[in-house]
């Protein structure tokens, strides 16, 4: 990414027609450019920050559109630089036209996420907050909105900075003592140091345990409906999403390709994949279907295993149960067709699958579906949505950084136990500090930054 300070511009609203379109500009030339192209309805002597002005965007004295504009002057703006925002009529043509005018006047088209990247580089937010901006833009449910907003407000940054400060203090003590070694001045008791490292390590361990819940809140739950042919998998998908999403027939092998739909269960996003019945097949189309079903099973956070309660369990059913067990997937078992006389018991299923989550359902009569929906939510995010103050780890990048931090803390503890020179302990603690600093972006590389900001839309 370009780090020279030039002036960038982008349309921040989606392409297409809308009530209004917002065109944003950030950088030192923002005000000068606006002065050239904006004809205010009332004369402005000196544009003020955080004020809205009415007027026209003009080019060669021709009015291009009637707009509202606002200025946000450095340092009190999103990026920390001088910014201007133009709210124009939401036609794709007009927003493109205005953007072209800005570029003609010396602005450059912004890269994806470049406004937020500048905000980070100018110290307006740390890297975990910048990531939260992207999460908030992508939020589709209450759970994802909450975790993103708490992170944007700096909850994560604040907690981690408490740990960093403690570690930094310990490092300084140890390093200071090194310098004064000959005078034998003792600044800190090694026993206290050990206690502090253990405390931080325990807190980080607890934090790591929140990852599954945090990730599922942020990304949603990928759930695959798996089972033998004709057990009612597609009927269950249709019940869950309340529409005829998948074809249902009495022919075994109806579903070939995987079919996906989404469901918001009390604030948690479920991406549900209906799959082809798993069985040994020769037909090349069904064979491909089975391959895709297995892939969906592989990638799923949880499995809805469906069996047909109106007939005894088959070898196929049992083979599927073994497969799910082998992959250690979180599962909920559905005994479907509860409207017919039952040949399968929950006890039998429990023995074979080891699962306590077993429900009787009739997809045909739509009975047991509400209980199913309730169980799904409790199974994956243990009930309640995140609350303010509940610290959740939501990203793999953060998890990796914390795992590395803990490794270095363990090395420091070992060095302490082995009575190694304080130089070594300080070194390990510095490394722990660096790993922790990757989350907030105190320690970062261009590759990490490019990766993070490439997730963004242009204009944010």
Ligand X SMILES: Nc1nc2c(ncn2[C@@H]2O[C@H](COP(=O)(O)OP(=O)(O)OP(=O)(O)O)[C@@H](O)[C@H]2O)c(=O)[nH]1
**Which residue number, 58 or 314, has a Cβ lying nearer to ligand X?**
314
Q: Which stretch binds Mg ion (CB under 5 A): 107-115, 232-240, 321-329, 390-398?
A: 232-240
Query: Considering the rule CB under 6 A, would residue 27 count as an interface residue with ligand X?
Result: no
In the sheet that holds 358-360, the strands lie side by side as: 259-265, 268-274, 221-227, 302-308, 330-336, 358-360
Which of 254/342 has CB closer to Mg ion?
254
Residue selected from 7, 129, 230, 353 as contacting ligand X according to rule CB under 6 A: 230
Long-range contacts, stretch 317-320, CB < 8 angstroms, 24+ apart: 317/227, 317/228, 318/352, 319/278, 320/226, 320/227, 320/228, 320/278
Q: Output the smallest distance, CB 263 to ligand X, in A.
A: 17
Figure out which of the listed residues 255, 336, 435, 440 binds Mg ion, where binding follows CB under 5 A.
Answer: 255
Residue choice 80, 112, 113, 232 for contact with ligand X (CB under 6 A): 232
Per-residue x/- mask for ligand X, residues 36 to 55, rule CB under 6 A?
A: --------------------
Closest approach, Cβ 376 to ligand X, in A, equals 18
Segment near ligand X (CB under 6 A), from 63-71, 204-212, 226-234, 349-357?
Answer: 226-234
Token look-up 């003020």 returns: 48
Query: How wide is the angle at C-alpha 427 spanned by C-alphas 421 and 432, nearest 5°?
Result: 135
Interaction between residue 337 and ligand X (CB under 6 A): yes
| Among 364, 381, 232, CA closest to 308 | 232
Q: Which of 61, 179, 183, 250 binds ligand X (CB under 6 A)?
A: 250
Closest CA to 287 of 318, 256, 252, 317: 256
Cβ-based nearer residue to ligand X, 174 or 276: 276
- Given a contact cutoff of 8 angstroms between Cβ atoms, the answer to whether 435 and 398 are in contact is no
Q: Which does 339 bind (CB under 5 to 8 A by kind): Mg ion, ligand X, none?
A: ligand X
The one segment of 44-52, 110-118, 136-144, 232-240 that binds ligand X by CB under 6 A: 232-240
> Contact, 392 vs 210, CB < 8 A?
yes
Which of 44, 92, 203, 364 touches ligand X by CB under 6 A?
Answer: 364
Nearest distance, CB of residue 79 and Mg ion, angstroms: 51
- Does residue 273 bind ligand X (CB under 6 A)? no
Residue 253 binds which of Mg ion, ligand X, none (CB < 5-8 A, kind-dependent): ligand X
Number of residues that bind ligand X (CB under 6 A): 24
Q: Please, which residues have CB within 8 angstroms of residue 73's CB and are 6 or more apart in sequence? A: 31, 49, 82, 83
For residue 28, give every residue at least 6 positions away whose Cβ sits within 8 Å of its Cβ, in sequence order, or none.
5, 7, 81, 82
Name the residue nearer to ligand X (CB basis): 90 or 253: 253
234 binds ligand X (CB under 6 A): yes
User: Length of the chain, please?
Assistant: 460
Whichever of 157 and 235 has its CB closer to ligand X, that residue is: 235
Kindly give, in sequence order, each residue whose CB lies less than 8 Å from that of residue 146, ignoring residues fewer than 6 positions away.
217, 385, 386, 387, 388
Write out the two tokens for 65: 């559109």
87 vs 254, beta carbon nearer ligand X: 254
Burial of 184 from C-beta contacts in 10 A (0-12 / 13-18 / 19+): exposed
- Dihedral of CA 431/432/438/440: which sign? negative
Helix (H, G, I), strand (E, B) or coil at 69: strand
**368 is a site residue for ligand X (CB under 6 A):** no
Site stretch for ligand X (CB under 6 A), options 100-108, 350-358, 361-369, 444-452: 361-369
Could you identify the residue written with the tokens 């005078």? 183
The sheet carrying 18-26 orders its strands as 38-40, 51-59, 62-72, 83-90, 18-26, 8-11, 108-109
Element containing residue 89 per DSSP (H, E): strand 83-90
Q: How far is the CB of 447 from ligand X (least distance, A)?
A: 44
Binding mask 274-303 toward ligand X (x if CB under 6 A, else -) reads --xx--------------------------
Stretch that binds Mg ion, among 8-16, 155-163, 229-237, 351-359 (CB under 5 A): 229-237
Chain contacts with ligand X (rule: CB under 6 A): 227, 229-235, 248-250, 252-255, 276-277, 336-337, 339-340, 362-364
Chain contacts with Mg ion (rule: CB under 5 A): 233-234, 254-255
């Amino acid at each position: 990414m370009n780090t020279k300070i030039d002036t960038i511009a982008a349309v921040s609203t989606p392409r297409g027609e809308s009530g209004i379109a917002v065109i944003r500009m950030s950088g030192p030339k923002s005000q000068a450019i606006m002065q050239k192209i904006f004809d205010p309805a009332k004369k402005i002597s000196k544009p003020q920050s955080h004020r809205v002005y009415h007027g026209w965007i003009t080019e060669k004295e021709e009015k291009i559109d009637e707009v509202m504009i606002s200025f946000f002057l450095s340092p009190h703006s999103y990026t920390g630089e001088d910014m201007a925002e133009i709210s124009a009529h939401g036609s794709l043509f007009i927003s493109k036209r205005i953007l072209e005018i800005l570029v003609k006047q010396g602005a450059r088209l912004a890269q994806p996420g470049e406004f937020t990247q500048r905000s980070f580089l100018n110290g307006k937010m740390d890297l975990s907050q910048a990531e939260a901006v992207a999460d908030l833009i992508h939020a589709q449910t209450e759970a994802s909105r909450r975790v993103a907003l708490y992170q944007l407000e700096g909850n994560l940054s604040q907690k981690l900075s408490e740990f960093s400060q403690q570690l930094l203090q310990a490092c300084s003590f140890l390093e200071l003592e090194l310098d004064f070694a000959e005078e034998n001045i003792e600044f800190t008791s090694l026993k206290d140091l050990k206690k502090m490292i253990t405390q931080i390590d325990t807190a980080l361990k607890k934090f790591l345990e929140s990852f599954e819940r945090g990730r599922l809140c942020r990304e949603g739950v990928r759930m695959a409906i798996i089972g033998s042919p004709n057990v009612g998998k597609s009927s269950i998908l249709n019940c869950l999403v309340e529409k005829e999403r998948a074809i249902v027939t009495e022919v075994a092998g109806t579903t070939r390709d995987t079919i996906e739909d989404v469901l918001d269960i009390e604030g948690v996003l479920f991406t549900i994949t209906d799959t082809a019945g798993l069985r040994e097949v020769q037909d090349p189309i069904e064979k491909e279907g089975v391959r895709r079903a297995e892939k969906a099973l592989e990638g799923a956070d949880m499995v809805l295993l469906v069996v047909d309660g109106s007939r005894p369990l088959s070898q196929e059913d049992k083979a599927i149960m073994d497969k799910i067990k082998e992959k250690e997937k979180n599962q909920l078992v559905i005994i479907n067709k509860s409207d017919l006389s039952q040949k399968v018991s929950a006890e039998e299923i429990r023995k074979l699958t080891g699962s306590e989550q077993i429900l009787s359902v009739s997809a045909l009569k739509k009975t047991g579906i509400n209980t199913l929906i309730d169980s799904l939510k409790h199974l994956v995010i243990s009930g309640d949505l995140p609350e303010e103050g509940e610290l959740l780890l939501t990203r793999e990048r953060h998890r990796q950084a914390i795992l590395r931090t803990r490794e270095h803390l363990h090395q420091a503890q070992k060095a302490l136990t082995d009575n190694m020179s304080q130089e070594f302990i300080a070194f390990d603690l510095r490394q722990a500090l660096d790993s922790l600093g990757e989350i907030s972006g105190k320690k970062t590389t261009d590759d990490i930054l490019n990766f993070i900001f490439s997730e963004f839309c242009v204009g944010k």
